[in-house]
Amino acid sequence: MNGGEAKIAIVMGSQSDWPTMRCAAEVLGELDVAYDARIVSAHRTPDRLHAFGKGAADEGFHVVIAGAGGAAHLPGMIAALTHLPVLGVPVRSKALSGLDSLLSIVQMPGGVPTGTLAIGEAGATNAGILAASILALSDAALAERLKAYREAKTQGVAERPTD
């Protein structure tokens, strides 16, 4: 679900980040949580970045998931502009396989927290689940859906491998 009364923003530095960031969108869809996905580049659209970061809370968002690759300044800059929780997803880069993205996001100065997930699709999926967990603190129905989702994942793990 894109748009509407979304409390979760999924922002990314480029269209090329979408194949990774759509993992966050997909898990939110499974949990029936609305999101609004946007492209906001720290370097190519700095005015859009500033407007988004400053306005995110007033737009009604409760959590921001931000993914970027390479010199991945987007999550940290958004965290600098809003008090909302920001979950950073390091997108796998061509040159350094996402290590550059990870280090760009994780080493924030004290006082400007940016949650940092794993590199790539697993990180995006987990950012979606974490964002839902944050909303679930004040949404009992979502908490139940989240518990069911996690239980289904547990039940999906076979006891023995198959050939």
Binding region for ligand RP5 (CB under 6 A): 13-14, 16-17, 41, 43, 68-70, 91
Query: Is-contact 100 73, C-beta < 8 A?
Result: no
Min dist. Cβ of residue 155 to ligand RP5 (A): 35
Residue 100 assigned ligand-binding role: no
Cβ closest to ligand RP5, residue 98 vs residue 128: 98
How many other CB atoms are found less than 10 A from the CB of residue 18? 16
Min dist. Cβ of residue 20 to ligand RP5 (A): 8
Q: For residues 23 and 126, what is the distance between their CA atoms, to the nearest angstrom?
A: 9
Query: Is-contact 78 53, C-beta < 8 A?
Result: yes
Q: Dihedral sign, CA of 108, 112, 118, 123? A: negative
Min dist. Cβ of residue 2 to ligand RP5 (A): 19
Q: Which residue stretches of 37-98 are H helix?
A: 46-55, 74-81
Residue 44 assigned ligand-binding role: yes
Min dist. Cβ of residue 14 to ligand RP5 (A): 3
Residue 97 assigned ligand-binding role: no
Q: For residues 64 and 9, what is the distance between their CA atoms, to the nearest angstrom?
A: 5
List the end-to-end C-alpha distance of the chain, in Å, as a whole number.
Answer: 38
How many other CB atoms are found less than 10 A from the CB of residue 103? 13
| Binding-site annotation: residue ranges for substrate | 14, 17, 44
